[in-house]
Amino acid sequence: MSGRLNGPGAGDILRRVMPPRLYVNIDHVATLRQQRGTRYPDPVAAAVLCEQAGAEGITAHLREDRRHIQDRDVRLLRQTVRGVFNLEMAATEEMLRIALELRPDFCTLVPEKRAERTTEGGLEVASGGTLERVVTTLRQEGVGVSLFIDPEPAVVERAQKMGAGTVELHTGYYCDAPARSPEAARQLARLQAAARAAGEQGLRLGAGHGLDQSSVGPVAALPHLEELNIGHGLVARAVMVGLERAVIDLRAAIAAGASAREG
């Protein structure tokens, strides 16, 4: 026997065995730098430390207003990230041009509002508009596409029809609910339903927004989940314990949560 897993069920078997991958969002390292207009801390150096500590990928959101990550950052990240480089961006002509120049491993398309403190909700996934055109162009150019969406099965289905290969479920509603409250249970059930829908649609599944070491466990147990994008909560803990320890501990929390997955 070769020991390889083959056949249509192999992916699901591996997902049950392997915990979701951790992609560290290093935006808020850049936030500290931009707050004072200094050259430090360097998000590119932070990405190296995260990968050395075991992160499987790096995520960076190049916003239209350039409030944290800058164009130079994403160029250097593309050259230096050894794992997966995920570029978060709005579905605009400017960002499409940058993505086609950079050729990240994949792009996660997210909604943006100039006045928001952070991303407030998932994309409005509707056919015939700019979003669909950007998705189509990226796919035609060989760049993977993920859509950041609210955890609703109907939205998952629309994302699949639009041509996305991956959906990232917005976990902010779950994270905002009081821990172990009825509302947290309701939001987790929403995530579970959307995760099952992603599996049924044959989509790769990610999740993120607002997660930290204390809240990630139940999300890591979602069916079909392959990757988690976590930034602010990890960077905040790194202020206290250091970046390496924060990554190691978060990966351990993800693995512990994933061990509760249904067979």
Residues assigned a catalytic role: 61, 88, 209
Three-state SS sequence of 95-154? HHHHHHHHCCCEEEECCCCCCCCCCCCCCCCCCCCHHHHHHHHHHHCCCEEEEEECCCHH
Q: Per the structure block, which two tokens stand in for 103?
A: 């050729």
Q: Give the distance, in angstroms, between the CA of residue 166 and the centroid of all CA atoms in the same chain.
A: 10
- Can you tell me whether residue 3 is helix, strand or coil? coil
Q: What angle do CA 247, 78, 122 make, to 5 degrees?
A: 65
CA contacts within 13 A on the Cβ side of 234: 35
Of all helices (H) and strands (E), which one includes residue 164? none
Helix axes 27-36, 232-241, angle to 10 degrees: 70
Of all helices (H) and strands (E), which one includes residue 64? none
Task: For the beta carbon of residue 240, count every other beta carbon within 10 angstroms.
Answer: 8
